[in-house]
Every structure is written in structure tokens, then in C-alpha cells.
Amino acid sequence: MKNIFYRSLIVLSNMMGLWVFRFMAWFVATGYFLFFPARVAESVRFYGALFPSKNLLYHIWCAWKQFHNFTYVYLDRFLLFKNYPIHITHEGWEYLVETVQRKEGGIILMSHVGNWEMAAHVLKMRGHNIPGMKLLLYLGERFKDQIEHMQKEDLIQSGVKIIVARENSVSPTDIVEGINFLKAGGLVSLTGDRMWRKDQRSIAVRFLGHEVFLPETPFVFALLSGTPLYIFFAFRTGRETYHFQIQPPEYVRVKDRSERQNAIARAAQIYADRLEEMARRYPFEWFHFEPFLGRKLDEARDAGKP
């Protein structure tokens, strides 16, 4: 149903103009806000942690704005494939250029704050100007999300190699393929703020004064391959305008096997700190609609007391 509606919206927008897309998207976002109270509650809880000095009405308004801002992910995706001019500024791009030129390989750590799909497409498009640049994208499988499936197919057609980590199983060969891809000088992109599976190994970090569990996978990849981590954000800063920010490389290195877990925890906390910084800077680009924040850290400590 989502697939049919989205394709119909594209057809109507091609015939009548972008105002149709914007108009209908507003009503869809409003419907989700009104009829999915559990998701709204999670957003309100997040904005309560982000803006603790503000009142409940402000947090609800933030959630309203977040839901409606999310429609731009789909609108800008449509514009990108229509070759509509999208203005992009960036900082830190030279880090990726240098790692490709050195054939060192690198892990691009993306997030659900900002538009990761726009980042993936632009990475591939601009990568044509960098000889030897190869991109592998790990994605989680969301069987019920047909639009998400369409996005993946479009990425594949644009030349991005994709490995899908299914909900109930993940092949060890997929992990090995990623490590080999890195060692061959390729760039591997993973999301650092969402689990692929319920039983996936995770690491606890501090985020907005709460305990949050992040996937270990990106940091284990960095440790095993010896390649750097690049924390990458893509923010919408205005109509058809984006700013890409690539952080300096982070390495996960140890001298002894006994130090591995501490090294992974340090790297995960660095990422969590950057994620918090960007959430504060671009609060309405936070596109998590499922539970993310755990207990407050003082509550977590109290729970461990006899």
C-alpha cells in the first residue's frame, strides 16, 4: 500500500508540480502524528531529554516538527533522481579522498540524524571523480517497509554495493566480505545508531544523560581491519540544501587482546558524543521513531544497588 501511494504521488507530482508532493506529504505526516501515539511518545521523550528546561507543550511541538521534517527525506530523494539542483556544502571531504588515494580503506559511520540516503547517493556520484573509490553499504532488512525496499533498489542501480543484514539471521560470509572489502581499499558504510537484529551484540554508551545501546559491529570492523572510522552526517539546512560533515578519522587499536572491549567502548562513546552534539545542533533532523533512549544513568546505577 505504501509503495502504491508513493508511486502515485510521484506520478501526480510529475504531472502537476512539486506542490502536490509537499501538500500530500504534510497530510501523511499529520496522520502519523495523530494516529501513532507510541511513536509520538518516544519523540516527546527524546525532546524532553534534549531540552529538559522546556515544558511538555514545547516537546510535543518539537515532535510535530520532527514528523513533518521527515517528509523531506522522500521529497529530496525524488528531486535527486529528477536531477533537480540540490546545493551541497561539505567539510572533511578531504579525509575520504586521502584514504581512497592511499588505498587504506575506511568505515563510514552514518546515523539516523540527517539523511543517510542522500549521503550515500552523493558519495557514489562524487566518487566517480575519485579513481578507485568503491562503496559497500550495510543495511538492515525491514520486510514490511516497501518504500525502504525501493530506496535500496535505487541505491543498487546507482552503483552502490549493498549487503542486507536480515532480522533473524546474518551470514558470517557477509562480515568476511566487508572486512575483505576494507582491506582492498574500499569504503564500507554502516549505521552506528540502530541494531540490525534483536540479538545483535551491543555496547552501552552515555547519550543525553541516558543509557543507550549501540551496535558493536562498526567498531569491531575497525578493530579487525585496522582501518579508520569516519563519522559522517548529512543535514538538510534549507530547501534543496544540504551540509555534509565528515569527522577526522578515529582508529580502534589495541596492543593486547585484553584491551579490545575497552577500545571498542571508547570508540562507541566518541561516536555517541558526536551524535549528541549534532542532535543539539540540528534537533529536528533526528529521525528515530522507535525506542532509543534507555534509563537515566542515575536510575541505572540505583537498579544495581542491593
For 11-31, write each residue's pLDDT tens digit. Answer: 777 788 888 888 888 999 999
- Among 78-92, 152-166, 214-228, name the one with the lowest average pLDDT: 152-166
* The most confident of 160-164, 170-174, 266-270, 288-292, by mean pLDDT: 266-270
Strand 187-191 relative to strand 135-140, pairing: parallel
Question: What is the arithmetic mean of pLDDT over 116-120?
Answer: 80
For residue 6, count CB atoms less than 10 angstroms from its CB and return exposed for 0-12, middle for 13-18, buried for 19 or more.
middle
Domain boundaries, the chain: 86-283
Lowest mean pLDDT across 44-48, 161-165, 215-219, 256-260: 161-165
- Which pLDDT band holds residue 305 (cuts at 50, 70, 90)? very low
- Percent over 70 (pLDDT), the chain: 86
Count, residues in the chain: 306
Q: What is the mean pLDDT of residues 236-265?
A: 92
Strand order in the sheet with 87-91: 87-91, 241-246, 229-238, 106-110, 187-191, 135-140, 161-165
Q: What is the pTM of this model?
A: 0.88
Per-residue pLDDT at 209: 96
Mean pLDDT of 138-163: 60
